[in-house]
Structure 1
Amino acid sequence: MEPKFFLAVFLLISSTVSAEYIRPPPRKTLYFPWRSTPSSHPQQVHISLAGDKHIRVSWVTDDKSCLSTVEYGTSPGRYSAVSHGESTSYSYLFYSSGKIHHTVIGPLEPNTVYFYRCGGQGPEFQLKTPPAQLPITFAVAGDLGQTGWTKSTLDHIDQCQYDVHLLPGDLSYADYMQHRWDTFGELVQPLASSRPWMVTEGNHEEESIPIIKDGFQSYNSRWKMPFEESGSSSNLYYSFEVAGAHVIMLGSFTDYDEYSEQYNWLKADLTKLDRNKTPWLLVLVHVPWYNSNHAHQGEGDEMMAVIEPLLYAAGVDIVLAGHVHAYERTKRVNNGNLDPCGAVHLTIGDGGNREGLARKYINPQPEWSVFREASFGHGELKLVNSTHAYWTWHRNDDDEPVRSDQVWITSLVSSGCLDEKRQLRKILMGP
């Protein structure tokens, strides 16, 4: 590797791999015993970012008469503010959901613990808002599901001092069995009620039935993201800003061609970027574009051909994906070739799903692939400052969070790449 290229891509690469890693056996789907809960009490509580200094609180009640209100304040049991929100519900064949509430609270102070109560009933929850400036830490895990390995992944994430959870698709693995959305909400509530969870859809969220049922009804009803706040017309793709990062959540399973609403929205979103304010540009998508695993090989090629030129012109630093049930990290790459001004791609669809791991890789390993392993785990991305980020991947090995891969990544803002792309941006993102 040329020294100049090395400096432009990574400040430091330090990967540790065990020579003979023997994977633990699979774990069964979790069993959720029925629990008697008052119908007015909040269930499946989770929070998400909802524009500058605001957070959306989402929950479900069995009682359809409950109000969509959230009381909150900075002291336990003392609520200095109250917000009123909206609610929805849906039917799916023989299933009828509870009342699904979405209420935006704020403005909130950054890096502050708030205590809150949903609908004036039930237990008190607490959340911590993200910082306003760098550093910030993201926990990343996709393809979660509801197995023993999912529980292990969540336990490890709970030990991480993170600010926001990023989930690149495939949440509950309900797969048409709607009560599994309820048990998934119960499973993740301890974490998702205390830190923002920012998600995008995967193929297991679609749940469409030709003629009878449109896709993504359950997902859109339960996991409302800030698409309206970011100028998007669909909950399947949106963006948000937090600390020094602009994060774009793309939809692999909605139209993305050059005439689509998603493509035009993405161009507009990228055009408005201020990289002095947000030096880091991250993208999440479910289906990976750079994948040397036999599983789902080539499935992201069509989207990559259309969208990658826009991301390259805008100077995207990191692309995070799921779908493949394994972990893989690339060098900076664009159009299938090594490029010091391309993005680092991270496949992290290894959260713990019931379908198991994707164990077969293509050999020889492509030049752009640095590290790959079929194990369950999670990632942590710490944006330390405007120029350097530290990425680690933690394997779930015998219930110990083993740090199996780690790398320092330098931002494209600091490398001079954005200056070189100025003319390209005019061409690709012009009218």
Structure 2
Amino acid sequence: MVTEGNHEIETIPIIQPHAFRSYNARWPMPYNESGSTSNLYYSFEVANVHIIMLGSYTDFDEHSKQYKWLQSDLVKIDRKSTPWVIVLLHAPWYNTNEAHEGEGEEMRQAMEALLYEARVDLVFSGHVHAYERFTRIYDNNADSCGPLYVTIGDGGNREGLALTFKKPPNPLSLYREPSFGHGRLRMVNETHAHWTWHRNNDSNTFVADNVWMKSLSSLKECWKFGHEEL
């Protein structure tokens, strides 16, 4: 299951003026099933997880189709059957690397409140060729009821690693490293999950970062104000 990045835009004036033509042809996702009208954003469920794939490179303001679809999708989530909600997108909303700094800011300002009000548990992004894990955040502040943000763009490509993180470190950023690696998310049960990041050292793998997470659906204190009690 995939979502688009900047390398998939592929606009060529006159010859191919429409963005994502090759991407949409080669990577058809089941967007209709989630009520989306675009292959660039959709949702699906695996076991006890509701997964939302957002499009960083299509319209996302409050008048856009993607914004309205996201609103309707979040409202339909049943946290009793899918207590975990995870969002994936390409350009990170939070990033302390000098590479691609601020590129996800407009989308964050437009959509972050929707994710916060729905108590999304975890947001994964790529784009920056490095690894970074933040604390739970809402509107640039630590918030125990906000999503935990992870940038895992460390698979790399011809551009190489994004080596330069800003100094001094932002207190919201708990771990950051410009190394090649991969992550593993293990959903243990309805309330707990375990995330590990593995640094790739040639033929060896090394767990450099890990964190246990508790689903926000299980935290009563995050559902007190204007939210239906679970």
- 2:32 alignment partner, SS class: coil
Displacement, 1:392?
A: 0.2
Displacement, 1:398?
A: 2.1
Contact 1:313 / 1:421 at 8 angstroms: preserved in 2?
Answer: no
- Is 1:416 the counterpart of 2:194? The answer is no
Report what 1:383 is aligned to: 187
Code of the aligned partner of 2:214: T
- 1:304 alignment partner, SS class: helix
Moved more, 313-322 or 401-410: 401-410
Displacement, 1:212?
A: 2.8
- Show the 5 A alignment for 1:214-253: 214-253=18-57
Q: Which deviations, in whole Å up to 9, do the C-alpha atoms of 1:280-330 show, x marking residues without a partner?
A: 000001000110000000111100001000000000000000000000000
Report what 2:2 is aligned to: 199
- Is 1:298 the counterpart of 2:99? The answer is no
Report what 1:288 is aligned to: 92
Distance 1:385 1:423, change over 3 A: closer
Code of the aligned partner of 1:207: E
Report what 2:13 is aligned to: 210
Please list every run of at least 4 consecutive aligned residues from structure 1 whose deviation after the TM superposition is greater than 2 angstroms.
420-424
Report what 1:323 is aligned to: 127
Displacement, 1:413?
A: 1.1
For residues 272 and 367 of structure 1, what CA distance do their matches in structure 2 show? 34
Displacement, 1:421?
A: 4.6
Q: Which deviations, in whole Å up to 9, do the C-alpha atoms of 1:242-278 show, x marking residues without a partner?
A: 1000000000000000000000000000011100010
- Is 1:392 the counterpart of 2:196? The answer is yes
Code of the aligned partner of 1:209: I
Distance 1:244 1:423, change over 3 A: closer
For residues 208 and 311 of structure 1, what CA distance do their matches in structure 2 show? 30
Identity of aligned residues (%): 59
How many residue pairs get aligned? The number is 227
Q: Which deviations, in whole Å up to 9, do the C-alpha atoms of 1:57-89 show, x marking residues without a partner?
A: xxxxxxxxxxxxxxxxxxxxxxxxxxxxxxxxx
Q: TM-score, normalised by structure 1?
A: 0.52
Q: Which deviations, in whole Å up to 9, do the C-alpha atoms of 1:199-234 show, x marking residues without a partner?
A: 000000010112331111111111111101111000
For residues 224 and 123 of structure 2, what CA distance do their matches in structure 1 show? 20
Q: Which has the higher contact order (CA 8 A, sep 6+)?
A: 1
Code of the aligned partner of 1:250: L
For residues 120 and 227 of structure 2, what CA distance do their matches in structure 1 show? 16
Displacement, 1:380?
A: 0.3
- Is 1:346 the counterpart of 2:150? The answer is yes
Equivalent of 2:210, from 379, 385, 406? 406
Q: Which deviations, in whole Å up to 9, do the C-alpha atoms of 1:100-135 show, x marking residues without a partner?
A: xxxxxxxxxxxxxxxxxxxxxxxxxxxxxxxxxxxx
Report what 1:368 is aligned to: 172
- 1:247 alignment partner, SS class: strand
Unaligned runs of 5+ in 2: none
Code of the aligned partner of 2:159: E
Contact 1:314 / 1:418 at 8 angstroms: preserved in 2?
Answer: no
- 2:62 alignment partner, SS class: coil
For residues 356 and 251 of structure 1, what CA distance do their matches in structure 2 show? 24
Aligned-residue RMSD, C-alpha: 1.2
